[in-house]
A and B are shown apart, each in its own frame.
Chain A
Amino acid sequence: MTKFRYPRLVAPLAVLAIGTAMALAVGIGHTWTDALSSEITIILITVGYYFLTGSKGDVGAIYRRRTDERQQHVIMKASRLAMLVMFALTFGIALVMVARNENYWQEDVIGSVGGVSFFLGIMIYGTHEEDAAGTSRGIMASDAVKGIEETDDIAPPM
């Protein structure tokens, strides 16, 4: 696989491409004035992204995707915070939509997909019982019971 010559540009260009697609959709579905304002916002975000990737420190390393183990921890904590904020916001919006008697299935979808993905993540990345073959056979395993019986320090019956 060939490497991109300017790796620092990858993330900002991806943001710009996605944002431009969104702005095009706004232009087709709504007005081109709205699309223009969307595009300007996206360009500002792209420029901000570019400068963030150049900064020294955790933010720059994370945005450049050159992280060490501590920065991976930072990413996990930040992701957890983002997830909590997203769920809180989704719940808040759903609450308002229900109160206004409007459609709220979009919030339902976001909340459900987020929740299911979280549990899928636990299943994928968590350690499973079958990974610990032979080491976690429980207290009723024959050798475990034998081990208890052979212990010397059990007080004799009086």
Chain B
Amino acid sequence: MIQRTCKGTLTFPSMLSNLYIVKNEVRNYRRKKNLSQAELAEGLGVSRQTVIAIEGDRYSPSLPLAFRIAKFFEVPVETMFDPSEEMVK
């Protein structure tokens, strides 16, 4: 895991184009609960665009928001976010 986070691509200037994204299950859990993206955004206190970005694997939430999402769906954070599915965008 340490090796993964120390990739050379984290250095300037390649970090301008690369973002580390951890895959998540937010969309699946939201659909299970029959919630719209707007309702989930309101529940989490973020914008709908942020929910769209998280679901579309374009943005990894901060640790506090990740815990808030997990708490919202009443699942452990590692169920919601899979660190083994990390990818570079």
Query: Which positions in A face B, CB cutoff 8 Å?
Result: 57-58, 61, 67-71, 73
Contacts and interface: CB of A to CB of B under 8 A. Distances in A.
Given A61-B49, A67-B47, A71-B47, 19 more contacts: A57-B47, A58-B47, A58-B49, A61-B47, A68-B45, A68-B46, A68-B47, A68-B50, A69-B46, A69-B50, A70-B46, A70-B47, A70-B49, A70-B50, A70-B53, A70-B59, A70-B61, A71-B50, A73-B59
Interface residues of B, number: 10
B23 to A, nearest CB: 17
Interface string B66-88: 00000000000000000000000
Contacts of B65: 69
B62 interface: yes
Nearest to B41: A68
Nearest to A71: B47
B69 to A, nearest CB: 12
Contacts of A71: 47, 49-50
